[in-house]
Amino acid sequence: MSDMLAVVLIAAAWSGVAGAVCAAVAWRVRSASIRVALGLIAAAAIAGVLSGVVGTSRAMFLSDHDLRVVMVVCAVSGVVSIGCAALMSRVVVRAAQGLRELAGKIGGRTTVAALADGPRELRDVGTELARSHERLHAAQQREQHLERSRRELVAWVSHDLRTPLAGLRAMAEALVDGLAEDPRRYHQRMLAEVDRMTVMVDDLFELSRIHAGTLQLSLQPVGVRDLVSESIAGATEIARSRNVTVDGCIDAGLEVKADPGALSRVVGNLVMNAIRHTPDDGVVVVSGHHAGAMVELSVTDACGGIDDADVDRVFDVAWRGDQARTPEPYAGAGLGLAIVKGLVEAHRGTVAVANHLGGCRFVVRLPAQP
Ligand SMILES: Nc1ncnc2c1ncn2[C@@H]1O[C@H](COP(=O)(O)OP(=O)(O)O)[C@@H](O)[C@H]1O
Ligand SMILES: [Mg+2]
């Protein structure tokens, strides 16, 4: 066997034994901290090299003095190398500690920032954790907002249902006791109250379907001009009674991909609101045109503008501003715009409101029919 082959075999054997011992120790303490794991990896590499050197030196029949020198050199290098490895492993250990702290903050109230330094994979995990925190935070806020509006809805709707019920009861009692001077008028008012309550219950049902996600839309090409004409026609009675003019200016051939029933409810609610909030003899304008891949439908009224503080609240469930709660004939329970928003978003569209020249403008954007 040539000398070189012998050297190779001896070095491989010593290094192999050292590596195997380190691997066995690493396996035994595999649940220990990342610091221990990194230390063992460094130790395996260093011990492998050093034991190879020591083993071959012994086999080379060096003088005792030379062998001692080699041993001292190996011992010193080993200690220095282990020290350097421990220093370098601090980056990974610090990043792992950073990740643990970051994970502990998820879902809490403090802000969570991704890791500033450390190995790329760990920084990526940190970035993902920070994103999850943001998503969770947004979901919590949505949930709280929904919960608050649900509570308000129950309180307000029970008030809104109790008032007409009390009125109905009083009128029915008057009729039963023969105290009603004009029974026909009483019957008419009772009918109007029942109609109002029916609309409110319908709205509640629609809203609960939207919130429960059980809304079934049958999307199809819908001609905007016809749909708006029908909605305006449905509101002519109230518009005429107040002498409000409703103008439509819709681009010819404008089509959206929508559920016709849902869309006409959206336009109907917006037009009805606009007429109700426009003073007598005012003008409401409904317009529609293409805006890129979307269709923009807007309803502009002359309500005098919505307070800046209220602009964000008009779409909240049951929000009705500071209007008196014993309402005018066409007032609802504050559900109309929440339904509009729910239906528009179910179409992957958006709705927004902004003040515009002594009034306000509701803008609905829906995907155009390609
Ligand atoms: N076109 C509008 N102009 C001014 N204010 C509006 C308009 N539409 C809605 N609002 C305000 O937003 C509130 C909520 O509207 P909505 O959800 O339709 O409920 P409701 O019509 O039952 O009051 C209204 O009570 C009103 O204060
Ligand atoms: Mg309304």
Q: Which tens digits make up the pLDDT trace of 228-276?
A: 999 999 888 889 999 999 998 999 999 999 999 999 999 999 999 999 9
For residue 273 and ligand 1, the question of a CB distance below 6 A is answered with yes
H or E segment to which residue 255 belongs: strand 255-258
Give the pLDDT band of residue 329 (cuts 50, 70, 90).
low
Does the CB atom of residue 331 touch ligand 1 within 6 A?
yes
Say which amino acid occupies 8: V
Nearest to 77 by CA among 48, 114, 117: 48
User: Ligand 2: distance of its center to the CA of 149 in Å?
Assistant: 17
pLDDT band at 208 (very low <50, low <70, confident <90, very high): confident
pLDDT of residue 64: 83
pLDDT of residue 151: 82
Residue 335 Cα to ligand 2 middle (Å): 7
Sheet holding 294-300, edge to edge: 245-250, 283-291, 294-300, 359-367, 350-356
Smallest-distance ligand from the CA of 300 = 1
pLDDT at 153 over 80: no
**Per-residue pLDDT at 323 exceeds 70:** no
Ligand 1 pocket, residue 323 CB under 6 Å: yes
What contacts 24+ positions apart, CB below 8 Å, involve 327-333?
Answer: 328/276, 329/192, 330/238, 330/272, 330/276, 331/276, 332/199, 332/200, 332/203, 333/156, 333/157, 333/160, 333/200, 333/203, 333/204
Residue 127 pLDDT class (50, 70, 90 cuts): very high
Q: Name residues whose C-beta falls within 8 Å of residue 270's C-beta, 6 or more positions apart in sequence.
A: 299, 340, 362, 364
Task: Flag whether pLDDT at 348 surpasses 90.
Answer: yes
Rounded CA gap, 184 and 200, in Å?
Answer: 25
C-alpha–C-alpha distance, residues 252 and 236, integer Å: 22
pLDDT at residue 331 greater than cutoff 70: no
Q: What are phi and psi of 222, to 5 degrees?
A: -125, 130
Closest CA to 299 of 232, 200, 239: 232
Average the pLDDT over 113-133 and give the result: 90
- For the cut 60, the answer to whether the pLDDT of residue 326 exceeds it is no
Which ligand is nearest to the Cα of residue 149, counting in written order?
Answer: 1
pLDDT of residue 1: 64
Of the pLDDT bands very low, low, confident and very high (cuts 50, 70, 90), residue 344 is very high
pLDDT of residue 282: 94
Question: How many Å lie between the centroid of ligand 1 and the Cα of residue 258?
Answer: 24
What pLDDT was estimated at residue 325? 43
- Ligand 2 centroid from CA 4, angstroms: 94
Among 115-129, 148-162, 200-214, the range of highest mean pLDDT = 115-129
Cα separation of 130 and 153, whole Å? 34
Q: Is the CB of 301 under 6 A from ligand 1?
A: yes
* Average pLDDT in the chain: 88
Q: Is the CB of residue 314 below 6 angstroms from any atom belonging to ligand 1?
A: yes
- Host H or E run for residue 343: helix 336-346
Q: 3-state class of 258 per DSSP?
A: strand
Contacts of 42 (CB under 8 A, 6+ apart): 81, 82, 85, 86, 89
Q: Which of 199-213, 258-272, 282-296 has the lowest mean pLDDT?
A: 199-213
Do 122 and 95 touch, CB atoms closer than 8 A? Answer: yes
- Please give the backbone phi and psi of residue 61, each rounded to the nearest 5 degrees, phi first: 50, 45
Q: Which ligand is nearest to the CA of 275?
A: 1
Query: Looking at ligand 1, which atom is closest to the CA of residue 320?
Result: 25
Placement of tokens 């998503």 in the chain: 135
